[in-house]
Amino acid sequence: MKHGFIRSLVAGALLASAASFASADVLTFDDIDSYGTLPANYGGLDWSSSNWIAFGDTQDPYAAHSGDWRVATDFGSSDADSTIHFLAPTVFDGAWFSGYGEAAVTFELYLSGALVASSVALSPTSVASYLASGYAGLVDTVVVSSPLQAFYAMDDFTFHSPVAAVPEPQTWALLLAGLGVVTMLRRKRCD
């Protein structure tokens, strides 16, 4: 019984430390069931200043990366119409693109209105390809820039919350010392 209690404490401590690592959120757009403008709050993000259209049928060269659904900007759109806002500063990883090669896409990443990074350019093809943001810092706005809006499709938009700091060795030592004290108290109580 004593060992089970100690194992539970150690397991709880390990789970608590693992919880500080964030997992990625991927918007696949596959939960959308009607064609048209992307909802303003889709996936917990603010799409209200954008002009993204969701579609799920097969259209060459606009291949989906996963599932059937993906998004594209509407004809006549500008880079400003491809703006996506996060509700809190977030780490943006990237997305998958397909379409016409002339519609080369890049990400412009902003934090508090200031441009903090731009990605490399990706010329889409009929096979979805991943474009990484190339930036590990926090952003609150992503703009998908292209000379030909509406001639590419985006799928699997990926981002994650900032990761909490990895515990220092002193923190682990303090945790183990605390477990030792709990173990001693438990033994005294059981005797």
CA-CA distance, 179 to 170, in Å (whole number)? Answer: 14
Which tens digits make up the pLDDT trace of 123-165? 999 999 999 999 999 999 999 999 999 999 999 999 998 765 4
Indicate if the alpha-carbon torsion angle 74, 75, 79, 80 is positive or negative.
Answer: negative
> Beta strand 52-55 with 70-73: parallel, antiparallel or unpaired?
antiparallel
The share of the chain scoring above pLDDT 90, in percent, equals: 70
Q: Phi/psi at 180 (nearest 5 deg)?
A: -65, -40
- Of residues 54 and 18, more confidence is placed in 54
- 107 phi and psi, to 5 degrees? -100, 135
- Report pTM: 0.75
Look at residue 17 and give its three-state secondary structure.
helix
Q: Quick one: CA torsion of 103, 96, 158, 14, rounded to 10 degrees? A: -150
Domains and CATH numbers, the chain: 23-160 (2.60.120)
Angle of helix 169-190 relative to helix 2-18, nearest 10 degrees, comes to 160
Residue among 109, 111, 87 nearest 161 (CA)? 87
User: What's the distance, CA 99 to chain centroid?
Assistant: 22
Cα separation, 104 vs 145, whole angstroms: 8
